[in-house]
Structure 1
Amino acid sequence: MRSLFKTVIAQSKPVVDEGPRPDDKEAGVLPDSGVVPDSKEAGLTSERPHSSDGDDDSINKDAQVGVQKMEAITKTWSTRDLYLAYGLIWLIYFVDAIQQGMGTVLTPYVVSDFREHSLTATISVASGIIGGVSKLPLAKICDVWGRPQGYLLTMCCMTIGLVLMAASNNVNTYAAAQIFYWVGYNGISYTTTVFIADTSALKNRGLVLAYTSSPYIATVWITGPLAQNVLNGIGWRWGFGIFAIVTPVVCLPLYLLFAWNQRKAIQQGILVRQKSGRTFWQSVVHYFWEFDIICVILLSAGFTLFLLPFSIYSNQKYGWRDPTTLSLIVIGFVTLIFSAVWEKYWAPVKFLPWELLKDRTVLGACVLAAVLFVEYYIWTSYFSSFLQVVLRLKVWQSSYIGNIYSIGSCFFSIPVGLAIRHTGRFKWVALYFGVPVTILAIGLLIEFRHAGTNIGWIIFVEIIYAFAGGACVICEQVAVMAAASHQEVAVVLAVEGLFSSVGGGIGSTVAGAIWTGIFPRKLMEYLPAESLDNYANIYGDLATQISYPVGSATHAAIVAAYDDALRNMFIAATTITVIGLIAVAFWRDIKLKDWKQVKGNVI
């Protein structure tokens, strides 16, 4: 991989504009006009902003401060620093992947300790929605203050979440901890992706994204046994507590590297500090409107209030007719409508990039991102429980199967990245392979959900699903970045992340609604008379479900209830994925080799 990086960097060294050369079209160097060559062939509908000072590699003075800082850093740092940055990003992904994978396995046991196993999906809804919406103000922080500052903030949020998870004594505290954690986890993933966009040529970005996600290939073998040992040994509290210590130790060096190179750029005069001239309170007011805090609050509250009732309605006295359920849905819907009205008519600074969302490639990629997360969370929310209860796998075994997606998608994303770099195009990968194979894989699970299914079929489905998912994710991220200029990259990635997280929230909501609407009712119907007194524990506690031996009437009843619930989950996931195929068909077939997006010493 190091030799591959050397080759790629050698082909992407910055050049000074000395007029058009024979290889300018391939290298992406633009003539003085600043117009992208062959823009019609590239699928671009308009000219992109470029520096007009005659030096194509100079800092764009019209860009936002965060973008200028990043361009100054890439002009200042050495190739050694570039290698080091990508090495640190790889290490961060490695540690985060271990923690996140272990946390996914531990969460059902944590909520079961509080006798609230059925709230597994509900917790995912709130934390996923808020974690996704938080990327919008984070994009503003990265653009207005700088990428390192946004990265440092998310690292602190993730650490706080891990500390709270380790100390939680009830499901409410754990849910709050999950919100902090996912804001931080999603934020670190987002800011490092922005770093990658800032420091890699567009034609190489798919390959670089594949490289930085490759740690998941190794962590798949670690998270399952680690979670099993944590449950059998130090307990889930210390499982989270250890990573509360490790996370800042691993994440801080990347911040220091960027901060140090930014300081070098200032000392060399490449980046000039400018004072705002505002007082403290003037700055508070300025940033309040700049970050459009009102829109962020309205969006977060609206999505959360609207989606939560779908997964908790069965716990209410009158179900769907309960005043609490109905009022939450209505208030959430009205809040979302009001956020759109506020943004269109009253917001001094527009937060959502409406013009970018009109681009069919950006919107199509965002729709695909949402669809992929909807279908994933619909069928995986209770899949680990299914593997343990119905197929009688141990924790570490179910973790291996559940993590096939991680290893398969990350492994296959490397040849996908190479194919995109070689052809300079990405649409065909998603349209003819990624989305169709995803639909096929989930559809097969409808047949393979029964007790007694050979585990080999489950593994086969997970493998083809993983390969297709790896292709879809790389193409979706390249698509949103290819349709934007450098100073728009952070915000389009944030919007794409918002669609993903909202999709995850919707998926968890649908999963929770199906589960709470079908499983308890069917469980009550199938349970033998001698087990009815233990109904509440069977429904709410995964360990209790596993405790009944295979062949017993109670175990057969539990399996039958799982079968009915999962059938509806798999059908819903298969159906919704078809929307993703339609969205990809609307993408423009952009030729990446004809577009130079970033400057400086990049990959």
Structure 2
Amino acid sequence: MLGFLRSKYHEAREILEEIRRTHPADVPAPRDDGYEPIPDGPDLSSPEHTSHGVAEIEALASVWSTRTLYTGYALVFIIFFVNSLQQQTTSSLSPYVYSEFTDHSLIAMTNVLTSIIGGVSKLPIAKLIDILGRPEGFAAMVALCTLGLVLMAACRNVETYVAAQIIYWVGYNGMDYVLHVFMSDTTELVNRAFVYGIASFPYVITTFIGPAAAQFLYERDGLYTGFGIFAVLTPLVTAPLLLLLWSTRKKAQSAGVIKPKPQNRTRMETIIHYVVEFDPIGMLLITAGFVLILLPLTLATSGTNMWSTSLLDRWLAPDIIAMIVLGVLSVVGFLFWERSGAPVCFIPYSRLRDPTLLGAFLLACAMFMSFYCWDLYFSSYLQVVFNTSIRDTGYIYNIYSIGSCIISIPVGILIRNINRFKTPALTALPLFILGTALMIPFRSPTSHITAVIACEILKAVAGGTLVICQEIAGLATGNHETIAVSFALVGLGSKIGSAVGAAISGAIWTSTVPVYIEKYLPDEKKYLAAELYGSIARVLEFAPGTEEREATVRAYGVAQKRMLIVGLAVLPAAVFGVAMWRDIRLRGVRQVRGTVL
């Protein structure tokens, strides 16, 4: 037995040494010394020995034709269209699902959980698609998204629905993430912002279709039917892209471009190889760290003792403090592990120290935190305060999505022409702050809905510009090998911001709305406070102007103002994030190889 273990130990050491030799040191970031790079400037494409997923996509790009590439992008566009329609429809129906279970306030807690898990899951997905390949990772995300939709269509209790939402959002965010990595794999850096803008255009179309579809389903008792329809559509529309990638892979294998996997490894050697490549210690430390830091946000702002203890007491609870401390220690441990202990780094240490990537992470975190401080209950606010229909609520609610997607195309063209991404961000940031500040006085029941819409438009133009710029900033200083993980880090920043913002929103909502509904109700009707707080459908049963409706309207207004004040207070961090960026010139920086855009 000892001899067997000794032999396996030596085999493992040989594999580790081979991996160390074949994984080169980090490629330094492109210099920006004030001069325009020459057309064949810094080559940051992958070196000869790199991860399987990156090598494979470069091999595919070397054998496919321009026509095949355009076909692939057309299929990506169709997938984005169906995914956007799916998200617009189901998100419009979600408040009514929660209300059916008499737990409308659960929206914030569910959003925190989906943001935490959806954001952290991008890190293992990044490693998965680098080790196994882009098609395999995308297929796995399609399966999860479909499973979540099936569970939502079949659920009959709130616990199942929350679990289905978590599975669905991991799959949905994963699909979106892998498709963006695919676009990054197949575009030059200077053209990438424009391609991202084109890919977001389907959201403009579906913003008008989704809410109308949700209204149609709700009025015909088809609340769960919509989930079932998209459970069928999702695998159908994604299959052609997977078939295209797999067929191109066979072509590359026939041409000898893709190196065959070693056949002389034993099963144990293969397991050791993939375990080392995946870096499970680093993965465990970083995922556990962020989950343990963010999960207390949900526990401290929800639970059965919500009314018996103050918010400060809940934050000072021993279990909350313990989780936060363990989370911070896990993140610190991850940094030490990546710096000195990992045989194959999960995230190259040079990327963790890069100010442009860190600034993009900080901007994403601050922007989404500010946005989700008030956005989760905005659709409910519109219906209760302004008496809008589901369809019209969806249109107003999605002004931000429409505007940010429309503006992303000219912003992409602008970035390509001026060869920079920092200047547009510095222009858009003051507008984003101004739009948030103007929302505060207009969150009053006496305000006109036109003022609310105007603020949404201003924030959409600024927000769409900032999102495109932060994505390019996150990728600009790395090489092809780090594209997936860099994109995941920026995405993690947005999900952390979403989770924190949703937790703040939930805390303000649960501590404000029920108290003020009861305060504004006449004494003989105070018994209705719990019903009005727990179900938006119950609120809408009362006509505008009635005592019950007006009490709820005033309570919603107080809560939204408080949410927006907090949302404005976090935006200075966004200014600091953009200030950290290097003003890199994009043209001539080569990150990818083969037939690309």
Deviation of 1:237 (Å): 1.1
Partners of 2:332 and 2:197 in 1: CA distance: 39
Deviation of 1:306 (Å): 1.9
Q: Which residue of 2 aligns with 1:54?
A: none
Give matches, 1:33-72, under 5 Å. 39-41=32-34, 60-72=47-59
Give matches, 1:468-479, under 5 Å. 468-479=462-473
Deviation of 1:581 (Å): 1.6
**1:439 and 2:433 are equivalent in the alignment:** yes
Q: Which residue of 1 aligns with 2:346?
A: 351
Structure 2: tracts of 5 or more residues without a match: 1-26
**1:326 and 2:317 are equivalent in the alignment:** yes
For the Cα contact (< 8 Å) 1:353–1:491, is it kept in 2?
no
For the Cα contact (< 8 Å) 1:316–1:322, is it kept in 2?
no
- Deviation track 1:546-595 (CA, whole Å, cap 9, x = no partner) reads 22222222222111111111111111111212211221012100000131
SS in 2 for 1:381: helix
One-letter amino acid matched to 2:296: F
* Alignment partner of 2:458 out of 448, 454, 464: 464
Q: Which residue of 2 aligns with 1:594?
A: 588
Partners of 2:318 and 2:269 in 1: CA distance: 38
One-letter amino acid matched to 1:311: T
One-letter amino acid matched to 2:298: L
For the Cα contact (< 8 Å) 1:42–1:590, is it kept in 2?
no
One-letter amino acid matched to 1:308: T
Q: Which residue of 1 aligns with 2:528?
A: 534
Give matches, 1:454-533, under 5 Å. 454-533=448-527
**1:315 and 2:315 are equivalent in the alignment:** no
Tell me whether 306-315 or 85-94 shows the greater mean CA deviation. 306-315
SS in 2 for 1:117: coil
Partners of 1:192 and 1:327 in 2: CA distance: 42
Q: Which residue of 2 aligns with 1:160?
A: 147
Structure 1 residues 212 and 244: alpha-carbon distance in aligned structure 2, compared to 1, 3 A threshold: same
Partners of 1:164 and 1:39 in 2: CA distance: 51
For the Cα contact (< 8 Å) 2:148–2:165, is it kept in 1?
yes
Give matches, 1:352-391, under 5 Å. 352-391=347-386
Tell me whether 267-276 or 178-187 shows the greater mean CA deviation. 267-276
SS in 1 for 2:487: helix
For the Cα contact (< 8 Å) 1:196–1:208, is it kept in 2?
yes
Tell me whether 459-468 or 202-211 shows the greater mean CA deviation. 459-468
One-letter amino acid matched to 2:438: L
How many pairs were matched up?
A: 560
Structure 1 residues 284 and 523: alpha-carbon distance in aligned structure 2, compared to 1, 3 A threshold: farther
Structure 1 residues 222 and 142: alpha-carbon distance in aligned structure 2, compared to 1, 3 A threshold: same
* Alignment partner of 1:241 out of 225, 228, 233: 228
Partners of 1:244 and 1:116 in 2: CA distance: 25
SS in 2 for 1:273: coil
Deviation of 1:599 (Å): 1.0
Partners of 2:301 and 2:355 in 1: CA distance: 33
- Deviation track 1:218-257 (CA, whole Å, cap 9, x = no partner) reads 1111011111011112422111111000000011211111
**1:206 and 2:232 are equivalent in the alignment:** no
Q: Which residue of 1 aligns with 2:218?
A: 231
For the Cα contact (< 8 Å) 2:383–2:390, is it kept in 1?
yes
For the Cα contact (< 8 Å) 2:149–2:164, is it kept in 1?
yes
SS in 1 for 2:570: helix
Deviation of 1:330 (Å): 2.1
Amino-acid identity (%): 39
Structure 1 residues 359 and 341: alpha-carbon distance in aligned structure 2, compared to 1, 3 A threshold: closer
For the Cα contact (< 8 Å) 1:430–1:584, is it kept in 2?
yes
RMSD: 2.3
SS in 2 for 1:393: coil
Partners of 2:316 and 2:160 in 1: CA distance: 22
Partners of 2:271 and 2:559 in 1: CA distance: 50
Q: Which residue of 2 aligns with 1:96?
A: 83
For the Cα contact (< 8 Å) 2:294–2:500, is it kept in 1?
no
- Deviation track 1:104-136 (CA, whole Å, cap 9, x = no partner) reads 111111111111101101000001110010000
* Alignment partner of 1:430 out of 421, 425, 430: 425
Structure 1 residues 500 and 280: alpha-carbon distance in aligned structure 2, compared to 1, 3 A threshold: farther
Partners of 1:343 and 1:267 in 2: CA distance: 41
SS in 2 for 1:236: coil
Partners of 1:281 and 1:130 in 2: CA distance: 31
For the Cα contact (< 8 Å) 1:309–1:328, is it kept in 2?
no
Deviation of 1:287 (Å): 3.6
Tell me whether 249-258 or 547-556 shows the greater mean CA deviation. 547-556
Instruction: Provide TM-score, normalisation by structure 1.
Output: 0.88
Q: Which residue of 1 aligns with 2:70?
A: 83
Q: Which residue of 1 aligns with 2:328?
A: 337
Give matches, 1:540-579, under 5 Å. 540-579=534-573
Partners of 2:393 and 2:444 in 1: CA distance: 16
